Structure 1
């Protein structure tokens, strides 16, 4: 694994055009610097790149629409106010409007996620409540109404309490011994 972390170094200028020549680069972090200019298409030559962080710089222009660079999410590019294009919600001037049905842009330019989570529905909440009710009363009701179960339950609790008490006392005595020997 080959990584290059140049974050938080107050670097200025642009991303080197020949950065793509670094073979087998898996991790590249230029975040929180003062880099400006566009994103070089040579980054798309980094075929082994698994982590890319260009966030919080002064990069501008359109993110190159290469397969390699589109695999990274919005957090890799955030904090660059003049950067636009996918995977950012902000579309570039002159492009046809970038429309993702899961996002809406409000007046202040912030994106709001409108996606509906199909897993969490009314049926999900009903099933969760019913499951909790049955499990709770299945265990608590048995302990409450069955004398032998209640006795066994508290007997187990007493054994656990005794075990924990003995273990804590043993640890305390070992710590005292080691502190006195030093």
Structure 2
């Protein structure tokens, strides 16, 4: 379980207008359009813990700014449910993990900033995210890869474990063949010295070889004679 998301409620009388940071701009909402303003701006506080998972059900939210805090954990997996979101600013936190693929469903998103966190993996693809092609919105996350960043996700990472296993397997094969060659040499020398020292065995051995050659010669001659007869 992650740490709870801590924040304080602040009761403020906005009066006839309100100045708010949205889409990376300081905008002023007057009394006529303040009713339609749907935004959460908790930036530049000391918020800790993880982003609440329930926040993804705020489907009508237009602006979410949680930047410059101490948030940890991952970006909610179902953040794509916030379909009305036009501006999302999560920069300068300690968020980790990958960027959810569902973020590509934020078709209204015009401003995004995920810089200076600990995010990793490939940046999701999608029509709306591809239009946000400024690499600076992902800067400060050295383990991110894919467009619009220059770091490619296709470069294979060296697996030291596989290399080590392959090396051990190769060593075993080398020892196996070495033992086979050693056994062949030893066997040959044993037979050679036995034949060298035992005259009777040596005669019998060569007599057996001669008989073998004679038998092979007879078989070859008979085969050739049969083959010639069939051809005729």
TM-score (structure 2 length as normaliser) = 0.39
Normalising by structure 1, we get a TM-score of: 0.50
